[in-house]
């Protein structure tokens, strides 16, 4: 039996997701991804507020636009996957786990999981992101030649 290893869903600010370089998969073993801080990111874990919603007439396509305070991005689904986002309304705070995709010049998220969350989880999510950013800035300071090093 073949084992399947799922890619890690990374926490990332939407601003960083949208500004990162996007790479199409080069082989069957690879996946579409962005490159951010020397990490290949193909799946994301986002907590954000729904600011816009769209469903077409025959329910074969639906999209929500979410905003995490740094930027916004669309979460798009087709056919039977539209049920993942149909129940959300503008103003809902949602957790989105999904794959990073690109069509024409738009980076968007293809959802795997979408659920409404308590606002306290948004605070936890942002604290984790702030902590990761502080660690990355600290590492950059240590990498600079001739800089003062703190312990």
> Which residues form the domain of 129?
9-143
Residue 141 pLDDT greater than 50, yes or no: no
CB within 8 A of 90, min separation 6: which ones? Answer: 50, 51, 52, 53
Which among 83, 85, 8 has a CA at the least distance from the CA of 48?
Answer: 85
- pTM: predicted TM-score of the whole model, two decimal places: 0.79
> Is residue 151 assigned to a domain?
no
What's the number of domains the chain is made of? 1
Residue 150: inside a domain, yes or no? no
- Is the pLDDT score of 85 beyond 60? yes
Report if residue 1 sits inside a domain.
Answer: no
The CA-atom distances, in angstroms, between 48 and each of 35, 62, 77 are: 22, 18, 17
| pLDDT of the residue at 49 | 96
Kindly state the average pLDDT of the residues 80-108: 91
CA nearest neighbour of 36 among 142, 145, 133: 133
> Sorting pLDDT into bands at 50, 70 and 90, what band is 90?
very high
Q: Over the stretch 4-28, which tens digit does the pLDDT of each residue have? A: 677 888 899 999 888 888 888 765 5
Find the mean pLDDT for residues 127-140: 71
pLDDT of residue 84: 87
- At residue 136, the pLDDT reads 60
Q: What is the CATH number of the domain that holds 120?
A: 2.40.50.140
Does residue 2 belong to any structural domain of this protein? no
> Which pLDDT value is given to residue 63?
94
Q: Is residue 148 one of the residues assigned to a domain?
A: no
Contacts of 144 (CB under 8 A, 6+ apart): none
What is the average pLDDT value for the chain, to the nearest integer?
Answer: 84
């Amino acid at each position: 039996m073949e084992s399947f290893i799922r890619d890690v869903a990374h926490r990332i600010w939407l601003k960083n997701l949208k500004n990162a370089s996007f790479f199409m998969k080069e082989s069957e073993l690879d996946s579409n991804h962005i490159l951010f801080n020397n990490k290949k990111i193909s799946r994301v874990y986002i907590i954000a507020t729904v600011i816009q919603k769209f469903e077409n007439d025959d329910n074969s396509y639906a999209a929500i636009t979410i905003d995490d305070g740094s930027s916004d991005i669309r979460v798009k689904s087709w056919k039977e996957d539209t049920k993942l986002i149909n129940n959300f309304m503008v103003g809902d705070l949602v957790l989105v786990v999904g794959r990073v995709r690109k069509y024409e010049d738009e980076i968007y998220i293809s959802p795997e999981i979408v659920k409404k969350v308590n606002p306290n989880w948004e605070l936890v999510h942002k604290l984790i992101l702030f902590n990761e950013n502080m660690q990355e800035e600290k590492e950059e300071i240590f990498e600079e030649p001739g800089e003062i090093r703190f312990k």
